[in-house]
Amino acid sequence: MRIYFGPVLAAAIGVAGGFSAANFVFAQAAPGEAVVVQRDIDFDKHAVTIRAGGQVVYVNEDRFGHNVFSETPGGEFDIGRQAPNSRVGVPFRRPGTFTVNCRIHPRMEMTVTVVQ
Ligand SMILES: [Cu+2]
């Protein structure tokens, strides 16, 4: 579990460590991975940004299934029913902005922005 939060923690330390040029560049670079938790029939983040070739890890912390998907051209995916207490990594290879929803709970919506 810790591995998924590594980049986030590292970025936080970079910011807390000061405002040297090196830390500033590091904190501004888009991460290769973002973690989005599904909890209380919602996403814990409604917008994330990652680098092309990176992934978004969807974590289901609810007691029932979700089915995350995107139909935005260039970023289509459908992970199928995702069981409680599981995580699924979704790779994004092309830059763009992709709308992500849940087939079971239509009001769940978030956006993944992929940059070069
Ligand atoms: Cu759902």
* 102, containing H or E segment: strand 96-102
- Could you tell me the distance, in angstroms and rounded to a whole number, from the CA of residue 73 to the centre of ligand 1? 21
Please check the confidence at residue 28 and state whether its pLDDT lies above 80.
no
The domain segmentation of the chain, as residue ranges, is 1-29, 31-115
Q: What's the whole-model pTM score?
A: 0.76
Q: What average pLDDT does the segment 67-93 reach? A: 97
pLDDT above 50: residue 3: no
User: Which two structure tokens, joined as six digits, stand for 23?
Assistant: 């830390």
Residues paired with 52 in a beta bridge:
none
* Topology adopted by domain 31-115: Immunoglobulin-like (2.60.40)
Cα 104 to middle of ligand 1, angstroms: 5
Q: What pLDDT shows up at residue 29?
A: 83
65 CA distance to ligand 1 middle (Å): 7
